[in-house]
Amino acid sequence: MGLWKNFLLTLRQYFKSSQITRLFTALIFVLLLILTTLSSSFSFTPQPKIHPLPPALSNWQDKTNSGDYFDQIKPIQVGYFVWSQFPIKCYVKLPNIDNRKSQNWLNTVVNTIIEWNPYLPLVLVNKQEDADIVILQQTPPLQKQPGRPPRARSAETRYQIYTTDDDLLSHRFSILLSPSLTGEQLKASVRHEFGHALGIWGHSNLVTDALYYSQVRNPPPISPRDINTLKRIYQQPTSFGWRIGKST
């Protein structure tokens, strides 16, 4: 209705304007009509819906009543980062260092990833292009903040949104780990960043949680609060994992 009202107003102004102005107005209107027509065939984001809880999270019960930090988790525009296809496929790229150090690094990373397996099923894959989550030994770029000098980071998690071959809205993650990370700090960083990639897109304010916002001298294991938060995230509506449709 609004489009036709604007069309009539445009026509009225058209006959009152100079020849150049009329031509310009006509071109604008034709462009508007084309864009309106094309938009009817564009894909649109699926309506957010709730996926069934994965069995391990569904059965999870916190006997300590530790609570969670769900209020610190912020969804992006299309919803919470929830995986709905299992197992989640993970790829760990061997670093370009000597064989012994490379294997030790790989073992540390893989063993730390497995800590999350009791809550969400994971599997290692041999090809990076097949993975949902990719882990690389690579220095993260400097973090730029307004009014402050760039800050170096030891780890970073990035996401990419895409549409699968069967038209599902999906996402994939890459985790960058600084070559300077070793020992317990490497474990802590993998544990923390992998928690982000599983869906905990935020931080805890308690030092006893794996997703605590800062590095600590004695890194904690995955806590009941971490899992309580993960479970609540997977109980939220999201557009991820649902089929892209066509507007009509």
- Write out pLDDT tens, residues 115-154: 999 999 999 999 999 999 999 999 999 877 677 676 788 9
What tens-digit pLDDT sequence spans the chain (248 residues)? 554 455 445 545 544 555 655 555 555 554 544 444 444 434 578 999 999 999 999 999 999 999 999 999 999 999 999 999 999 999 999 998 788 899 999 999 999 999 999 999 999 999 999 999 999 999 999 877 677 676 788 999 999 999 999 999 999 999 999 999 999 999 999 999 999 999 999 999 999 999 999 999 899 999 999 999 999 999 999 999 999 975 43
Quote the CA–CA distance of 142 and 105 in Å, as a whole number: 23
Quote the CA–CA distance of 153 and 106 in Å, as a whole number: 21
Tokens 């960058």: give the residue.
176
- Positive or negative, the CA dihedral 138, 112, 168, 240 is negative
Quote the CA–CA distance of 171 and 84 in Å, as a whole number: 11
CB crowding 34-50: b at 16 or more within 10 Å, else e:
eeeeeeeeeeeebebee
- How far from chain centre, in Å, is Cα 125? 20
- How far from chain centre, in Å, is Cα 120? 16
Quote the CA–CA distance of 118 and 122 in Å, as a whole number: 9
- Residues whose CB falls within 8 Å of the CB of residue 21, separated by 6 or more in sequence, listed in order: none
Residue in 182, 186, 177 with CA at minimum distance from that of residue 154: 177
Q: What is the pLDDT of residue 129?
A: 96
Residue 98 burial class via C-beta count within 10 angstroms: exposed 0-12, middle 13-18, buried 19 and up: exposed
| CA distances for 186 relative to 9, 47, 129, 190, 217, angstroms | 65, 39, 24, 6, 12
Bond before 87 cis per omega within 30 degrees: yes
Residue in 233, 223, 167, 171 with CA at minimum distance from that of residue 200: 233
Residue in 235, 243, 228 with CA at minimum distance from that of residue 50: 235
Q: Which CATH number fits domain 55-246: 3.30.450.40, 3.10.440.10, 3.40.390.10, 3.30.70.1520?
A: 3.40.390.10
Task: Locate the domains of the chain by residue range.
Answer: 2-39, 55-246
Which residues on adjacent β-strands are paired with residue 157? 175
Cβ pair 238, 82 in contact under 8 A: yes
Q: What is the pLDDT of residue 13?
A: 57
Look up the pTM and report it: 0.81
- Write out pLDDT tens, residues 5-20: 554 455 455 445 556 5
